[in-house]
Amino acid sequence: MVYKAKDIAEMLGVSTATVSLVLNNKPGVGEKKREEIIQKIRALGCGYMLKDCLVNNGAIGFVVYKRSGCIIDESPFFTYILEGITKCINNYGYNLNFIYLNKDMDRQEQKSQLMSDGLKGLVIFGVEMTREDLQVFKDSDLPFVILDNSFQESDVDSIAVNNRLGTEKAIRLLYDKGHRHIGYIRSKVRINSFDERFHFYKRLLRKLGLEYNRSLVVEVGYSESEARECMKEYLKVAKTVPSAFFAENDFLACSAMQGIQEIGFRVPDDISLVGFDDRPIAQMVSPKLTTVNIPKNIFGPAAVELLIDRISNKREQSLKIELGVNIIERESVKNV
């Protein structure tokens, strides 16, 4: 809903003129009442109305952390959720600063980057991170939340996708449509999310009474050309071709789809495909990709809310949030 100054005034029992004075940063409103109006505007998700106010709580750093860089550089997922993060941060009166770190940087250089802008907290895109990478953020003494990596064994705030639920929904969809030879498209570049999905894939096959067969797992490089060519090479020599594949993400699924089609197989008539993430590319390929949908509209903002709670309430205990997912059925799965 789009709110106007009049609507906010009615909610607070003040005049529209009073709200306008606050929005235009004019004198004539007491500090207590001014803050009450500002907080109400933020609570309604209308922080953009405050752009002309001298309300600035400082900056929040959005950290992109690279280890290999393969995942982030080739097809960065954070770009799909950045708008929601920025809007939510601005709504709380903060600015967003970008910071790029990588594991090859000297530890002191990493720390200097984090401390250079007087940041109030950090949202860290940690998809490539491992536990050892957390230390520099702990040493900074800044409040932070890890996005897209749960770090279940570490005492840090985190927002991550429920990979078990997503994998189960994907495999059960294929199973319910009659598929019994379900292959797996596995990246040669490993991250925690991929490891979790592969673990639950094997576990769910056993749960469904299906045999895990290593020969049904295709190892592919993490680039469009590598994934395409690895899939083609696999299909050339495979003794048994699965009727369906589950891929670790949409980027790999769509790249592999090209290889499947180039070698003469049809999707989904010969081979069905399910991806993970629901990236825009899933609707650009032909046939359109069936995939596990991550709720991008709440993924980033949930991280910001967790960070603001840590900053505002001085919370000491860590919180971990796992987001549920759903299946988006399109055209890449055949009912057999």
Domains and CATH numbers, the chain: 5-50 (1.10.260), 58-161+296-323 (3.40.50.2300), 163-293 (3.40.50.2300)
CA distances from 204 to 169, 253, 326 (A): 10, 20, 17
The answer, yes or no, to whether residue 56 has pLDDT greater than 70, is: no
**What's the angle, vertex CA 218, arms to CA 239 and CA 291, rounded to 5?**
120
pLDDT band at 52 (very low <50, low <70, confident <90, very high): low
Average pLDDT of the chain to the nearest whole number: 91
Question: Is there a contact between 160 and 94 (Cβ–Cβ < 8 Å)?
Answer: no
Token look-up 């699924």 returns 253
pLDDT score at 54? 47
Residue 120's CB: how many other CB atoms inside 10 A?
17
The larger pLDDT score, comparing residue 43 to residue 184, is at 184
The larger pLDDT score, comparing residue 49 to residue 113, is at 113
pLDDT score at 275? 98
pLDDT score at 78? 84
pLDDT score at 207? 95
The answer, yes or no, to whether residue 72 has pLDDT greater than 80, is: yes
- Nearest alpha-carbon partner for 320 in 140, 155, 123, 164: 155
The answer, yes or no, to whether residue 25 has pLDDT greater than 80, is: no
pLDDT score at 36? 84
| 246-258 residue pLDDT tens | 999 999 999 999 9
165-194 average pLDDT score: 97
- Nearest alpha-carbon partner for 320 in 153, 134, 122, 190: 153
State the Cα–Cα distance between residues 14 and 9, nearest whole angstrom.
5
156-174 average pLDDT score: 97
pLDDT band at 24 (very low <50, low <70, confident <90, very high): confident
State the Cα–Cα distance between residues 289 and 278, nearest whole angstrom.
8
92-111 average pLDDT score: 90
The answer, yes or no, to whether residue 117 has pLDDT greater than 80, is: no
The answer, yes or no, to whether residue 265 has pLDDT greater than 80, is: yes
The answer, yes or no, to whether residue 127 has pLDDT greater than 90, is: yes
pLDDT score at 92? 84
Cβ-proximal residues to 246 (8 Å cutoff; 6+ apart), any chain = 167, 170, 171, 174, 182, 183, 184, 185, 201, 274, 276
The larger pLDDT score, comparing residue 46 to residue 206, is at 206
330-334 average pLDDT score: 98
227-238 average pLDDT score: 97
Q: 36-50, 64-78, 183-197 — which one is most confidently predicted on average?
A: 183-197
pLDDT score at 129? 95
pLDDT band at 194 (very low <50, low <70, confident <90, very high): very high
The answer, yes or no, to whether residue 55 has pLDDT greater than 70, is: no
